[in-house]
Structure 1
Amino acid sequence: MSSNQKLFNFFVIGLVVSLFFGTPLVAYASDNETFAGFTTDAKLPDNQYTKEVTYFDLKMTPSQKQELEVILTNASSKEIVVVPSINRAQTNRAGVVTYSVKSETNNAGLIYNVEDIITIAEKEIVLKAHEEYKLKLQIKMPEQPFEGVLAGGLYLYNKTTAKTEGNIKNHFAREIGLILRTTDKSEEIVGDLALKKVTTDQENARNVISLLLENAQPAYLSAVDFKGTVTKSGSQESLLRLDKKNLSIAPNSTFDLPISLDGEPFKAGTYEFKGTATQKERVWHFDQTFQITSEEAKKLNQKDVSIKKENIFENRLVLTLIGLLFSLLLILIVLLSRIYIKKCRMKKWKERQRKKKKRTKTLKK
């Protein structure tokens, strides 16, 4: 299998746990054996539906059983441990199809899960230096035909190279796409897009508005552009904007698409999201109202590390109170000064009167 073919390419994924935020970040690198430490070669069978690709895309019949083969080669001079798994295709928060984790729930419209249909006997594979290993994948198709495609992937990560440095964890992996279909008409099924709900959330300890989107059809959606705005309910003024290009969405998947607040705090109130998704001539329109409570806003704002901590001198109320206190202090100083001056004058007057009386007595004598 050529390593420079891009469709369903074997990704090298670095999972980074942020030192400050404690949230995994996914970074993609090129298909380079230096990173993963091993190479993969998928042996495509005769029933490969799409011939020009390097991933598995198989047309099969109900109840059919088949064995697939992937050759793993340790490209390093040291022993490594590779962990394989079959995972259903999912869509991540960046709008990218991924096969890196097991699915937690079945999404709407999903009849069969590829994780139940394709199995691997090995939990771990130990590869000696430059050793080659034939990994077998067992397929047992459902008894009934199905529309569209079942999509997943073979995920392989190098357990040996997984490192922890402080709070940062890294491991490198490869993915090989796995698509199953039972009919030539599977391509007639097209993906769809629905907005399920709009909520407040956080990403990397930063406030976001989260759009829960769903493709409930057994077909991929690719090259989707998504635009939207958030306004105060009843207002035309745009508070937040979203502009995403070239999204890829897995079959029967739901995913969160975040809109960043860019360091601004949540404010309680009723808001409205309006958006449009386009794929060539296809267009989807979305319009949904949502609320942010005071309690919800306060809780998330306290956790947001990007919100500028308010300087006491930038708070208008505090400034007003300081101004009032200063004015009262000034008035008090003026009053005390006048009282002091008056007392001093009175003292001097009394002193003059005393001296005057004394002189008068002296003259009489």
Structure 2
Amino acid sequence: MTFQQKSSEVNQDKAKNGTTVQNEYSYAVAILLKETDKVVDPNLNLLQVNPGQINYRNVINAELQNDQSVLMSKVSVDAKIYSKNGKKPVYTSIKSDMQIAPNSHLTYPISLNGTSMKAGDYTLKMKVTATANKQVKKWTFTKDFTIKSKQARDLNKSDVDVKANTNNSNWLYILIGAALLIIIIILIVVIILQRKKNSNQ
């Protein structure tokens, strides 16, 4: 809802007397409407986990659903992705101070930090903490998902960070190969000179 100050007669008189600039102020106030006084218990669901991109960068998207008519504030998420049956997380994301609107979905992205997406079976383990109705609630989710080879290949092709890392790696391999070639040539020259020296003696 937006409020605006009513123009006073004094300001209108000044405008008639030659004042051409008037400042009028308005401000917005957030209002939360309730149809009942009954306290609604908050609830979160983890619907699905899928690979995707944000700003041409690879992510794993976890879709959370708030299926109740209650606002969740101070939302904190601790998400870890493991290779199937792995014990160490391959990707981690921790964020806090978020909000989830009533009866809505939140797509939570877990960044791959410029690394190539790899096909395979994975497990997402996620802890979510939120405040609703002045009470802190906690949820724990575990969900298996699969990244297919075609998905990983297509996403890696359009990821700008993966392209940059690939180009840098190619130059590194070229430099290493050139250095090894120079060392081999030097060794061959030294061996030939040493044999000539021995034959002359």
Structure 2-normalised TM-score? Answer: 0.68
Partner Cα distance (2:159, 2:64) in 1: 24
- AA partner of residue 300 (structure 1): L
| 1:179 maps onto 2:12 in alignment | no
Structure 1 residues 131, 191: closer, same or farther in 2, change over 3 A? Answer: same
Match for residue 94 of structure 2 among 225, 234, 243: 243
* Residues 139-288 of structure 1 mapped to structure 2, 5 A cutoff: 176-185=29-38, 188-279=39-130, 281-288=136-143
Residue 170 of structure 2 corresponds to residue 312 of structure 1 = yes
Residues 275 and 312 of structure 1: CA distance in aligned 2, closer, same or farther (over 3 Å) = same
- CA contact 1:199–1:211 (8 Å) conserved in 2: yes
* Counterpart AA for 2:64: L
Query: Based on CA coordinates, which of the two structures has the bigger radius of gyration?
Result: 1
State the alpha-carbon separation in 1 of the partners of residues 64 and 28 from structure 2. Answer: 24
Instruction: Encode CA deviations 1:149-182: one digit per residue, 9 max, x unaligned.
Output: xxxxxxxxxxxxxxxxxxxxxxxxx864343223
Cα pair 1:278 1:284 within 8 Å, conserved: yes
Quote the Cα distance in structure 1 between the aligned partners of 2:28 and 2:50: 32
Q: Check conservation: 1:228, 1:243, Cα contact below 8 A.
A: yes
Residues 72 and 293 of structure 1, relative CA distance in 2, 3 Å threshold: farther
Deviant stretches of 4+, over 6 Å = none
Query: 1:277 Cα shift?
Result: 1.1
Following TM superposition, by how much is the alpha carbon of 1:276 offset from its aligned partner in structure 2, in angstroms?
0.9
Letter in 2 for 1:203: I
Please tell me the residue identity of whatever aligns with 1:312.
N
Give secondary structure in 2 for the equivalent of 1:251: coil
Q: Structure 1 unaligned runs (5+)?
A: 1-9, 11-39, 42-70, 74-128, 134-173, 334-365
User: Does the Cα contact within 8 Å between 2:79 and 2:110 map onto a contact in 1?
Assistant: no
RMSD: 3.6
Output aligned runs, 1:22-37, within 5 Å. Answer: none
| Rounded Cα–Cα distance in structure 2 between residues aligned with 1:315 and 1:200 | 30
Match of 1:302 in 2: 157
* Deviation digits for residues 31-57 of structure 1 (CA, Å, limit 9, x no counterpart): xxxxxxxxx52xxxxxxxxxxxxxxxx
Q: Closer, same or farther in 2 for the Cα pair 1:283/1:239, shift >3 Å? A: same
Q: Secondary structure at the match of 2:102?
A: coil
Report deviation, 1:275: 1.0
Residue correspondence of structure 1 range 56-71 to structure 2 within 5 A: 71=4
237-246 or 274-283, which deviates more: 274-283
**What do residues 64-91 of structure 1 show as CA deviations (whole Å, max 9, x unaligned)?**
xxxxxxx379xxxxxxxxxxxxxxxxxx
How far is 1:192 from its partner? Answer: 1.4
Q: Does the 8 Å CA contact 1:210/1:258 hold for their aligned counterparts?
A: yes
| Code of the aligned partner of 1:273 | L
What residue ranges of structure 2 are gaps of 5+ in the alignment?
7-20, 189-201
In structure 2, the CA distance between the partners of 1:72 and 1:255, relative to structure 1 (3 Å rule), is farther
Q: Distance in 1 between matches of 2:118 and 2:29?
A: 44
Return the offset for 1:313.
Answer: 5.0
Count of aligned positions: 167
Deviates more, 1:174-183 or 1:219-228: 174-183
| Contact in 2 for aligned 1:225/1:244 (Cα 8 Å) | yes
Residue 190 of structure 1 contacts residue 220 of structure 1 at CA under 8 Å; is this kept in 2? no
Report the TM-score when normalising by structure 1. 0.39
